[in-house]
Amino acid sequence: MNRRYTIQRSLVLDVVKELRRHVTADEVYDMIVKKHPDISRGTVYRNLNLLSDIGEIRKVEMPGGAALYDHLRHDHYHAKCVKCGRVFDVKMEFLTGLENNVKDTQGFVFTGHDIIFKGICRECNT
């Protein structure tokens, strides 16, 4: 289970960290492949998953689309345009402890939650 330093892993982490926004695995791949043409998509996926497992980055799986990865230190929510499918960060206070409002947990142990707002973005609304 020991982890090793590899150029590929480092590149993946750098891309996610440097960008101040969420990115998809494909975007990460596209950015890295410019400078490091040999990297494979599989490696990008493997490292994104590994890095999110160990908490270096955060993975947010999105309904009906590609998962997002980001490096924001605070939790936040997302809004997805039902027309164009693009995803936006939403400025709203994080609902800490929302899990406690569930009436019957049925033995479920909650570890967190995501909220995805639905709507139509400015550009699609004109």
Partner DNA sequence: TTACCTGCAAAGTCTTTGCACTCTT
Partner DNA sequence: AAGAGTGCAAAGACTTTGCAGGTAA
Summarize as ranges the residues that interact with DNA (CB under 7 A): 1-9, 24-26, 36, 38-43, 45-47, 49-50, 61, 64-67
Task: Give the shortest CB-67-to-a copy of itself separation in angstroms.
Answer: 7
19 binds, among a copy of itself, DNA, none (CB under 5 to 8 A by kind): none
The set of long-range contacts for 28-31, using a CB threshold of 8 Å and a minimum separation of 24, is 28/69
Answer yes or no: are the C-beta atoms of 80 and 118 closer than 8 Å.
yes
Residue type, 85: G
Q: Does 62 help bind a copy of itself (rule: CB under 8 A)?
A: yes
CA distance 45 to 88: 22
Q: Which residues pair with 69 in a beta bridge?
A: 23, 59
Task: Give the shortest CB-10-to-a copy of itself separation in angstroms.
Answer: 26
In this chain, which of 2, 4, 34, 109 binds a copy of itself, going by CB under 8 A? 109
Comparing C-alpha atoms, which of 57, 113, 119, 109 is closest to residue 88?
119
Q: Does 50 help bind a copy of itself (rule: CB under 8 A)?
A: no
Give residues in contact with a copy of itself (CB under 8 A).
60-64, 67, 79, 81-82, 88, 90-93, 98-99, 101-104, 106-122, 125
